[in-house]
Amino acid sequence: MTDELVSFQPATGEELWRGREGDVDAAVERARRAWPAWATQPSATRMELVRRFANEVRKDAEELAALIARETGKPLWEARTEVDSVVAKVEISIRAFAERTGQRKFDNGLQGTAAVRHKPHGVLAVLGPYNFPAHLPNGHIVPALVAGNTVIFKPSEKTPAVGEKLVSLFHRAGVPTSVVQVLQGGARIGQGLVGHEGIDGVLFTGSAHVGTAIHRQLAPRPDKIVALEMGGNNPLVVWDTPKIADAAALIVQSAFLSAGQRCTAARRLIVKDSLFDSVIGAVKKLADRLIVGAPFDEPAPFMGPVIDMTAADTLTESFLYLLGHGARPIKHLQRPRPDLPFVSPAIIEVTAATERLDVELFGPLLQVMRVDDFDQAIAQANATRFGLAAGLIGGSPEQYEYFWAGVRAGIVNWNRPTTGASSAAPFGGIGLSGNHRPSAFYAADYCAFPVASMEMEQPRAQIGVGLKDD
């Protein structure tokens, strides 16, 4: 049985795409049949094909950016940066494959030669998110293909059109249609794909709730590779600095870029008490100036809507919940269009709150608190089950080193936003943010497995002890 999927544009409510859920069994069967031929291709051939894919993306860059903007609601300028990241990922993945899964041979004396090579896993399922519907799944698809795996990509059911377009560009570049497939569907299709006997691994980007469910589903199957790239309740600490305006700009970029819908977005702002009024005043003043609008508006908005009304309602309810537990509003969350999921940037102080939410509030809602000393700031930063990104603004080099050593996160920045991680570095976290398999440059690590060999051109052996006389 298949169900119909419909994608609506967050900024307008208009229908964008309509289609049917895919067939898990048929997709897996095609991928398994295609895998041996793809895996035995020279790696140079696979690399050339993904380079052709990058060229196809360049040809359709503006069309793809417009589609991303319409389906996610993000501003067109931001959608264009996502397309640029899709292109850049190809060369980064090729370089990572060479550096992290390269072949090595070394002399083993009388034992001949020792070698280390890598093999692909087989058929990998890639489950993508809606916030970066092209860039983030592409960060799994390209490394998986380069390593010799076949891929079944299930986009978020909220962004099926972008997923369909992305895979069509692989096919247009010459990657066989059975080697990379798009499988549309919701939770039922995702669960069926993850649990399918013919899948050799799952590469997931999304919420901790879904990632934990995948981990639980595959717990009895240690033979399947699982890479979980999940969200965060990310802290940003502000300490001694005379550059209040710059600090405010970094905070706004960290908390409100992409309407707060980045897994690395700052959710919690921890400020030295003596700086609190000046810093928060500057942040509020800048946040008041942010343009919230539709993707193609002029002048260009800083941020668009969140993905749908459910997300907007959850943010509204979370803001009211915090107010009901002693939090103090600094900038109220507003809904300028009750019929559409536009949400204004919101700031709320939780220093005296009786309860703080250790969840990923996926939107432009920043919780702020004041602290007296640096150790207390680090303790508050670590007061979370997540561990994706953390940042320090201000402070001395010695304090940054102390912060870096003490904070628990997979990404630790100094005087930079928590958002905007480099694809040329590993990207991942600890706790509920991931399972110690960082993506980006380190995706090569889980797209192939190392094989150790001892080799001689002719058999040579004898048993020197424990034998009866001949």
> Are residues 333 and 186 part of one domain?
no
145 and 55 in a common domain: yes
Alpha carbon of residue 271 to chain centroid: 27
Mean pLDDT (the chain) is: 96
Question: pLDDT grade, residue 422 (50/70/90)?
Answer: confident
- List pLDDT tens digits, range 191-230: 999 999 999 999 999 999 999 999 999 999 999 999 999 9
Domain assignment present for 460:
no
Supply the range of the domain harboring residue 19: 4-230+434-455
Q: What angle do CA 429, 430, 431 make, to 5 degrees?
A: 135
Domain with residue 226: its CATH number is: 3.40.605.10
Confidence of residue 460 (pLDDT cuts 50, 70, 90): confident
Is 421 domain-assigned?
A: no
Are 248 and 341 within one domain? yes
Average pLDDT over residues 134-161: 98
Active-site option among 21, 56, 71, 263: 263
Same structural domain for residues 304 and 177? no
Q: Are residues 440 and 391 in the same domain?
A: no
Question: Is 328 within a domain?
Answer: yes
Q: Do 203 and 216 belong together in one domain? A: yes
User: Domain for residue 419, yes or no?
Assistant: no
Q: What would the mean pLDDT of 178-203 be, rounded to a whole number?
A: 97
Q: Which of 21, 56, 82, 229 is catalytic?
A: 229
The reply to whether 152 and 26 lie within a common domain is: yes
Best CA proximity match to 230, nearest among 264, 258, 181: 264
380 pLDDT tier (thresholds 50, 70, 90): very high
Q: Average the pLDDT over 93-97 and give the result.
A: 96
Decide if pLDDT at 63 tops 60.
yes
Helix/strand/coil (H/E/C) assignment for every residue in the chain: CCCEEEEECCCCCCEEEEEECCCHHHHHHHHHHHHHHHHCCCHHHHHHHHHHHHHHHHHCHHHHHHHHHHHHCCCHHHHHHHHHHHHHHHHHHHHHHHHHCCCEEEECHHHCEEEEEEEECCEEEEECCCCCCCHHHHHHHHHHHHHCCEEEEECCCCCHHHHHHHHHHHHHCCCCCCCEEECCCCHHHHHHHHCCCCCCEEEEECCHHHHHHHHHHCCCCCCCEEEEECCCCEEEEECCCCCHHHHHHHHHHHHHHHHHCCCCCEEEEEEEHHHHHHHHHHHHHHHHHCCECCCCCCCCCCECCCCCHHHHHHHHHHHHHHHHCCCEEEECCCCCCCCCCCCCCEEEECCCCCCCCCCCCCCCEEEEEEECCHHHHHHHHCCCCCCCEEEEECCCHHHHHHHHHHCCCCEEEECCCCCCCCCCCEECCCHHHECCCCEEHHHHHHHEEEEEEEECCCCCCCCCCCCCCC
14 is catalytic: no
Residue type, 255: A
User: Which pLDDT belongs to residue 188?
Assistant: 96
Whether residue 296 is found in the same domain as residue 147: no
Question: Quick one: average pLDDT of 346-351?
Answer: 98
Q: What is the mean pLDDT of residues 93-117?
A: 87
Q: Look at residue 423 and tell me if it is in a domain.
A: no
Q: Return the CATH number at 358.
A: 3.40.309.10
CA distances to 1, 15, 27, 202, 425 from 189, rounded to whole Å, are: 11, 22, 11, 14, 32
Instruction: Tell me if 321 is assigned to some domain.
Output: yes
The mean pLDDT of 259-268, rounded to a whole number, is 98
Residue 281 lies in a domain: yes
d(CA 283, CA 277): 10
Query: What is the tally of structural domains in the chain?
Result: 2
On whether residue 428 sits in a domain, the answer given is no
Share of the chain above pLDDT 70, in %: 99
pLDDT at 45: 97
Are residues 11 and 150 located together in one domain of the fold?
yes
Q: Flag whether pLDDT at 1 surpasses 80.
A: no
Residues 386 and 229 sit within 8 Å (Cβ to Cβ): no
Mark whether 12 and 35 lie in a shared domain: yes
Q: Is 84 exposed, middle or buried (0-12, 13-18, 19+ CB in 10 A)?
A: middle
- Flag whether pLDDT at 2 surpasses 70: no
Q: What is the mean pLDDT of residues 37-55?
A: 97
Establish whether 229 is a catalytic residue.
Answer: yes
217 plus 252 within the same structural domain: no
- Mean pLDDT on 102-131: 90
The proportion of the chain whose per-residue pLDDT surpasses 90, expressed as a percent, equals 92
What would the pLDDT profile of 388-413 be if each residue is shown by its tens digit? 999 999 999 999 999 999 999 999 99
Looking at residue 283, its pLDDT comes to: 98
- pTM equals 0.95
pLDDT confidence of residue 404: 98
Do both 252 and 189 map to the same domain? no
